[in-house]
Amino acid sequence: MVELIVSDILSRASDEHAYVMLLKERDGERKILVAIGHSEAQAIAFFIRGVKPKRPITHDLFRHFAEAFGAQMQCVTINKVDDGTFYSGMLFKMGDELREVDARTSDAVAIALRFNAPIYIPDSLLNRVCVRDEWEGAFSVPISTANIETLRAVMDKAVKAEDYELAMKLKEEIDSREMKYNDKKEDKSNA
């Protein structure tokens, strides 16, 4: 397992209400980008910038509640990425018992910061989803971590730039995801 730290919160240029959390490995250069919502971005940014709201926000309230009942967070583990969505678990200790709680990665990180708990990711998963620093501070994002909307936008740009090889790879990824989505939808309707 590799430990990650919060490096920054960035707003997406295409949408002023969408944010990206940049997580960096503690003892290395690999990074991951996680799309997060406004309230989670605010909660994480407040904490890393030392802003103390007058009243507890949701993630502070969660920590107070957990501590009131004797639960201490041990760690967060980012354990899966599917269609650009990161999946995480929060590990809590109550007395001698350990319990894992499923959580959105953004919420898990916001809570982990408040508990001063480490954030982990398996090395193999980090290798698969990490971004690479390119030129002029831009990032190269693996196809597996981008959502379909982003893939379509990049595919359109690739077609306009006449980079048909890249456009074809992106089209194959989009088609594969849509086929999986339609299969899941059909399975639910048959149940």
pLDDT tens track for 6-64: 988 877 655 556 788 889 999 888 888 888 888 899 999 999 888 888 998 999 999 99
**CATH number of the structural domain 2-129:** 3.10.690.10
pLDDT tens track for 55-113: 989 999 999 999 999 999 999 999 998 877 899 999 999 999 999 999 999 999 999 99
pLDDT of residue 105: 95
pLDDT tens track for 160-190: 878 787 778 778 778 877 877 777 767 777 7
Residue range 106-130: mean pLDDT, rounded: 93
Positive or negative torsion for Cα 122, 45, 102, 183:
negative
Q: 119-121 and 2-12: which strand pairing?
A: antiparallel
- The full set of domain ranges for the chain reads 2-129, 147-190
Structure tokens at 51: 């802003």
